[in-house]
Structure 1
């Protein structure tokens, strides 16, 4: 069974490629530039771009399963819907799609609504797929290094309701298991939705306290000023992306990003271990920041 992985050079996609390869799967890794991509032995680099239909038709040819991950970009919906349409055309009956937690609820957030549109297509056409809905990634906080170390501030304005962040390694493990389960099944499996969260619901103050313990110095939280945060982020990313992020944080302030009751137990069963905690992630990350 050949499995095509999109987003193969990104954080989660790269982990999925390595996880599948370690399990002996036949992996085709989609990349715009196969000559520059580095994959494990046995993985086939496939040239393709989700905005280029001929290249995607070629990449999906003779593929049995698809891991569909596309980045938060301005044409995200076009990429995802187009790729799913071509997968249907190719007769692929084993799909895992990476969506986002609360995709159905955060209707004012463009990339959440975009991912839910893809979910609606999967449902409408009854595609045999696993939809993964992960929470906010713990690893996103690696970009807060300078604020934490130089200014003693946890810079993400998470708010006071709480977010159950997920570790990308847990997300990738569940993606690999879902892909292999579908690839190895004798017949296409029914549609399913899996929510992926961390074991703890953490507010901005909770996160600042964790970092204070980990770094051994006082850390303040990110506050709640979303106007200032959007203005700052617009200086380091496209303005549409900064506004999208601001809208996500606004929903965190209003509703949080919480798993269903018993989610940790469900994920423990899927993973074979407890979901990784934010404190463990922070401790691990801080060690990489120590001078040699």
Structure 2
């Protein structure tokens, strides 16, 4: 039995689908199972990171677990997840982290995943940590601006990143959960090339066949933009630090970890955009 936490999220939902398609026994953890949609045959259970009892029930009888914490300065959720898994005797733990974790230049957000990573490595179970770069799907937040013919917001200037298709992250997670030979490593997952926000906008313009431009946000505009997403002040400060890190070129990283695990090249941002063009609506 493989437990997938964060099963309704970007990576978790695709991971559940991929594992189910392989015929694996999957248990999907969701805060509100009534609102979750999972493939036939997947066991759907309620789990709340703030309710240790629900985590105990969710990890019972599990052999491998995919752990998705709550990004932010409160790291107890990661540690509680690992503690519940260890207590249940889960033999393999795969934690979703973030690129550049531990780099002091990132600012506050660079430390958010460190306690969880440490807990996984020290758990006594087989472990792996996945540190993906910026998700291609993050640009779906631009859809309203694109439909309105407005510039998309740019918080990171011309800073390039190894933007990754979330499907590749989920596929790597599936392989690591299933294949013990891949345990004991931290994987930095990127796409095959670096691309900036203006570069992504240019790709979308070509794929969608209509103008897409980017507008740099001033620092206070960025702050208000993040608050509008419903982020708390500590999370806002963390994202601001990360954006500055990217703007300065700190995340211009491409690795071979995805091709090494999957045996094929990582997907490009253009491939992701073509596959998801319909989600940006009509002009």
Deviations 1:26-77, CA, capped at 9 Å, x for gaps = 11111223333221111111222121111111211121111101232564x1
Is the Cα–Cα contact under 8 Å of residues 72 and 112 in structure 2 kept in the other structure?
no
- 2:161 corresponds to: 163
Please point out which of 191, 204, 208 is paired with 2:201: 208
Question: 2:89 aligns to what SS in structure 1?
Answer: coil
Matched, 1:245 2:239: yes
Question: 2:188 aligns to what SS in structure 1?
Answer: strand
Question: 1:145 aligns to what SS in structure 2?
Answer: helix
Is the Cα–Cα contact under 8 Å of residues 4 and 26 in structure 2 kept in the other structure?
yes
How does the TM-score come out when normalised to structure 2?
Answer: 0.89
- 1:199 corresponds to: 192
- 2:251 corresponds to: 257
Shift of 1:107: 6.1
Question: 1:259 aligns to what SS in structure 2?
Answer: coil
Runs of 5+ in structure 1 lacking a partner?
none
In structure 1, distance between residues paired with 2:201 and 2:35: 39
Matches within 5 A, 1:1-292: 2-72=1-71, 75=74, 77-106=75-104, 109-125=107-123, 127-182=125-180, 190-223=183-216, 225-240=218-233, 241-260=235-254, 263-264=255-256, 266-291=257-282
Compared with structure 1, are the counterparts of its residues 215 and 226 closer, same or farther at alpha carbon in structure 2 (3 Å cutoff)? farther
Shift of 1:217: 4.1
Is the Cα–Cα contact under 8 Å of residues 21 and 40 in structure 1 kept in the other structure?
yes
How does the TM-score come out when normalised to structure 1?
Answer: 0.87
In structure 2, distance between residues paired with 1:153 and 1:205: 10
Compared with structure 1, are the counterparts of its residues 37 and 282 closer, same or farther at alpha carbon in structure 2 (3 Å cutoff)? closer
- Number of residue-to-residue matches in the alignment: 282
Runs of 5+ in structure 2 lacking a partner?
none
Shift of 1:250: 1.1
Compared with structure 1, are the counterparts of its residues 122 and 214 closer, same or farther at alpha carbon in structure 2 (3 Å cutoff)? same
